[in-house]
Structure 1
Amino acid sequence: MQQDLRRNIALVRQKIARAARLAGRDPAQVTIVAVTKTVTPDVAALALQEGLAHLGENRVQELLHKQEKLSGLPAVWHLIGHLQTNKVKYLPGKVALVHSLDSWHLAREISRRFQAAGEVCRALVQVNVSGEKSKHGFAPGEVADFLAAARELPALELCGFMTMAPLVDEAEEARPVFRQLKTLAACWQADHPALDLSILSMGMSNDYEVAVQEGSTMVRIGSAIFGWNGFGQC
């Protein structure tokens, strides 16, 4: 198992490096967030042993469960899935970055809960670039107003943007989505120079090479690291 994991991680790193070089970028600018939603805590621990410091979970309950099992290990935890407001209360002190800030109501609840805990939540604004009804996130035309309002929340630090491309047969078909977010992010950053909106979380196992070519700084990789069945379900 560990040999398979080591080989998969090495291959992902190689592909990221190649994609970054094609775009004239430094591969070190790209952070791998290993998505552990399909794997046991023991397998997640093996990923940490292989040098993957950042772990991502879709659900708050699973994040808390794995975090407890892996206490003492140097993991940086990301919440990458849709976040319900009634789950925010569990996150102070538990998560380094929320990738899925997708509503004003959620932003206010995050700020309220983290302020009460004496902390600040770092978060990415989820943008539904593709316009798919099945996906969460702000429409591109809504983001500017949200940024202007959310920057006033005392315990919320906006750090950039996240998007999910449509599931397509060929990764190249996702390129316009990533390119559009990169372009829009540059405009939003120019309009809000006081904010550091430099993180672009885009690209998953099926399209991360294209995402890196288009400027992604964080890729959310699950099956390309852990295999389709995750070396064992949780």
Structure 2
Amino acid sequence: MSTELLQRYQHVLQRIHKACQQAERRPESVALLAVSKTKPVEDIELIAQQGQTSFGENYVQEALQKIALHPELDWHFIGPIQSNKTKPIAEHFNWVHSIDRLKIARRLSDQRPADKAPLNVLLEVNISGEQSKAGFQPQDLMQAASEIAQLPNLNLRGLMAIPQAVTDFESQRIPFAKMRSLLESLQKALPDCQLDTLSMGMSGDLEAAIMEGATMVRIGTDIFGARDYSQS
């Protein structure tokens, strides 16, 4: 099992490297976030030994147990955020990818411990306009970003999206290109913010995301294998 995990991890790194070459980008311009939700800490430790430092989690209680064992790693919260879970997220994570409303951003800022650096945050965008998905609508993004950028204990770093799943490469590129354009607009409107992150692209579409400017891809299944929902 450990050999297979390492092989899958190396294969994902190779995919990222090849996609960067095809997009004429430097490989180091794209970070890999290993999505470790529902996976045992032993798997995290194994690829951490290979140099992987950033891990994504969806479930607060599960994540807190892992963070307690490895506080030195870079922990990203990437799941839906309930109001009653903002305090542990603000206290223990380095990044939050899934801010989808102002109320959540304000609570995270208020609850970020004073002895910690500002929490790096991304705004989730419902880029495909799906009713079943959370996220800011593109037309509401500028106002929300302007307000969130003023919160004292948050560091607004960019945007995140999970577009509607399609298999055709050119079709995959379309929402990612829209995301790049949205980030560029925010960068012009908020020049004092460190807006340097586009978190987009997963196991099935990372190549299209990198072609359109992703700076962070979130890969779970193609590293760790199929999810074990009994552990969630």
The answer to whether TM tops 0.5 is yes
Could you say which residue in structure 2 is the equivalent of 1:97? 95
Contact 2:90-2:109 at 8 Å conserved across structures: no
The corresponding residue for 1:76 is 74
In structure 1, what is the equivalent of residue 13 of structure 2?
13
Aligned to 1:197: 195
* Whole-angstrom CA distance in 1 between matches of 2:170 and 2:48: 30
Structure 1: how far apart are the matches of 2:116 and 2:225? Answer: 39
Residue 132 (structure 2) pairs with residue 134 (structure 1): yes
Find the counterpart in structure 1 of residue 157 from structure 2.
159
Runs (4+) off by over 3 Å? 115-119, 169-172
- Check whether the contact 2:200–2:214 (CA below 8 A) recurs between aligned residues: yes
| TM-score, normalised via structure 1 length | 0.92
Indicate which of 147, 166, 169 corresponds to 1:168.
Answer: 166
Amino acid at match of 2:66: K
Which runs of 5 or more structure 1 residues have no equivalent in the other structure? none
State the secondary structure of the residue aligned to 1:38: coil
CA 1:94 to 1:164, structure 2 compared with 1: closer, same or farther past 3 Å? same
Query: 2:64 corresponds to which residue?
Result: 64
Q: Which AA in structure 2 matches 1:154?
A: P
| 8 A Cα contact 2:90 2:108, kept in partner | no
Identity of aligned residues (%): 38
Cα separation, partners in 2 of 1:171 and 1:2, compared to 1, 3 Å = farther
Is 1:187 equivalent to 2:185 in the alignment? Answer: yes
Deviation at 1:192, TM superposition (A): 1.0
Structure 1 residue 195, shift from structure 2 partner: 0.8
Tell me: CA distance 1:92–1:107, structure 2 relative to 1, closer, same or farther (3 Å).
closer
Cα deviations by residue, 1:106-130 (Å, 9 ceiling, x for unpaired): 1111111116666522100111111
Cα distance in 1 for partners of 2:20, 2:92 equals 31
Deviations 1:6-39 (A, max 9, x none): 1111111111111111111101011111111131
Q: Would the aligned equivalents of 1:199 and 1:217 in 2 still touch at CA under 8 Å?
A: yes
Q: So what's the TM-score if we normalise by structure 2?
A: 0.93
Deviations 1:182-223 (CA, angstroms, capped at 9, x unpaired): 011111111111111110000011111111111101111000
Q: Could you tell me whether the CA contact under 8 Å between 1:92 and 1:117 is conserved in 2?
A: no
Q: State the aligned residue count.
A: 231
* Contact residue 77 and residue 89 of structure 2 kept, 8 A: no
Partner-residue secondary structure (3-state), 1:161: strand
How big is the alpha-carbon RMSD for the aligned residues of Structure 1 and Structure 2? 1.8
- Equivalent residue runs for 1:25-36 within 5 Å: 25-36=25-36
1:55 is matched with which residue?
Answer: 55
Q: 1:56 touches 1:79 (CA, 8 Å); kept in 2?
A: yes
TM-superposed deviation, 1:51: 1.9
Structure 2: gaps (5+ residues): none
CA offset at residue 60 of structure 1? Answer: 1.4
Instruction: Give 3-state SS (helix, strand or coil) of 2:176's partner.
Output: helix
Residues 119/196 of structure 1: CA separation in 2 closer, same or farther (3 Å cut)? closer
Is the alpha carbon distance of 1:5 and 1:150 closer, same or farther for their aligned partners in structure 2, counting shifts above 3 Å?
same
Q: Distance in 1 between matches of 2:169 and 2:204?
A: 6
**1:140, 1:34 → 2: CA distance?**
27
State how 1:142-157 maps to structure 2 within 5 Å.
142-157=140-155
Within 2, Cα distance between the matches of 1:137 and 1:115?
26
**Deviation at residue 66 of structure 1 after TM alignment:** 1.5
Quick one: distance in 2 between partners of 1:115 and 1:139? 30
Which residue of the partner structure matches residue 107 of structure 1?
105
Give the partner amino acid of 2:53.
A
Structure 1 position 150, deviation (Å): 1.6
